[in-house]
């Protein structure tokens, strides 16, 4: 899922309506506008499942401190240095790149927004997932009241409130609370999710078919795919869980969070380098190699800092 998010964010962004006619353009669009749009919904569903499996919604103090440590602190620590770099670059006109925030001259509200995403996406834009996940987690005791008393009525309420964006900008991704609540339902209602495993291949093929249809017909509203993604994609793990590939993926899991946190600045850096020094190299090579380069660098970096600075690394990664 994390690797998929890197592929999703590999620049430049091309709107679905402007997708080119080549085979590569179609292939790229399938991954960036469809397949890996499932990453955040699946991760959100799993987050809701884990939180309510641990009954954290009933222990607000523990919930608050745990989510602050595991989500908010990494959010701040991996936005602040980027904000400082952008400030220096803008103040001294060092880069031509147009950043999402204008941090120079200094403005308190703009900086708070850049670091924690108070009003929108933070400066390290992929971390808007952490921003929303932290807010949703803090709201989880309210979700828990619904889940334990009238789960399906609660689901309808959550769906209406967030699908139609009645919350405003409290949550940036409208489908995230719905996926999170559904994960909570799976935990509280004790759904036997493994019952879907026997349909894993069929569900995966159905998911891929939906993705291809989205690109062929250039369907801009992908919220329905996001909502269905967890039940279509998660069972597919059963296809690899007892394989060597599955075991290899499991071993790499510990490197995923640092990879997620660093992907934004890494993608921007590699994109600037490519444009400045390697623009004659075909773009498809950049697109195909960049996620792999980032993943390899992050694995090596994690191994080094974890051994050299274990306590600091633990704080940076929220205790992971």
* Sequential DSSP letters for 151-184: HHHHHHHHHHHHHTTTTTTSSSSTTHHHHHHHHH
Q: What's the mean pLDDT in 58-83?
A: 96
pLDDT at 96 over 90: no
Q: What is the pLDDT of residue 151?
A: 97
Q: What's the mean pLDDT in 255-262?
A: 97
Q: What's the mean pLDDT in 2-16?
A: 95
Q: How deeply is 77 buried, as exposed, middle or buried, from its count of CB atoms within 10 A (0-12, 13-18, 19+)?
A: middle
pLDDT digits (tens, 9 = 90+) for 269-292: 999 999 999 999 999 999 999 999
Q: What is the pLDDT of residue 47?
A: 97
**How far, in whole angstroms, is CA 276 from its chain's centroid?**
29
Q: What is the pLDDT of residue 215?
A: 97
Model pTM score? 0.95
């Amino acid at each position: 899922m994390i690797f998929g998010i890197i592929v999703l964010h590999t620049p430049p962004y091309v709107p679905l309506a402007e997708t080119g006619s080549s085979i590569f353009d179609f292939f790229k669009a399938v991954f960036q506008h469809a397949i890996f749009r499932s990453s955040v919904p699946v991760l959100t569903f799993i987050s809701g499942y884990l939180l309510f499996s641990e009954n954290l919604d009933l222990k607000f103090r523990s919930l608050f401190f745990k989510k602050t440590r595991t989500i908010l602190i990494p959010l701040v620590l991996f936005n602040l240095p980027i904000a400082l770099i952008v400030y220096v670059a803008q103040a001294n006109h060092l880069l031509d790149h147009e950043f999402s925030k204008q941090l120079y001259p200094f403005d308190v509200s703009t900086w708070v927004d850049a670091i924690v995403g108070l009003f929108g996406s933070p400066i390290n834009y992929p971390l808007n997932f952490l921003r929303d996940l932290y807010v949703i987690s803090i709201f989880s005791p309210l979700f828990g009241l619904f889940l334990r008393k009238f789960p399906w009525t609660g689901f309808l309420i959550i769906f209406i409130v967030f699908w139609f964006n009645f919350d405003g900008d409290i949550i940036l991704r409208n489908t995230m609370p719905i996926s999170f609540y559904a994960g909570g339902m799976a935990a509280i209602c004790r759904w036997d999710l493994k019952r879907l495993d026997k349909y894993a291949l069929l569900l995966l093929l159905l998911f891929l078919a939906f993705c291809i249809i989205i690109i062929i017909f250039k369907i801009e509203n992908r919220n329905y795919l996001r909502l269905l993604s967890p039940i279509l994609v998660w069972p597919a793990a059963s296809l690899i869980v007892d394989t060597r590939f599955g075991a290899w993926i499991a071993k790499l899991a510990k490197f995923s969070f640092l990879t997620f946190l660093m992907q934004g600045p890494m993608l921007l850096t590699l994109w600037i380098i490519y444009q400045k020094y390697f623009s004659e190299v075909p773009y498809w090579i950049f697109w195909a190699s960049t996620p792999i380069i980032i993943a390899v660098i992050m694995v090596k970096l994690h191994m080094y800092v974890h051994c050299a600075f274990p306590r600091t690394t633990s704080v940076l990664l929220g205790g992971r």
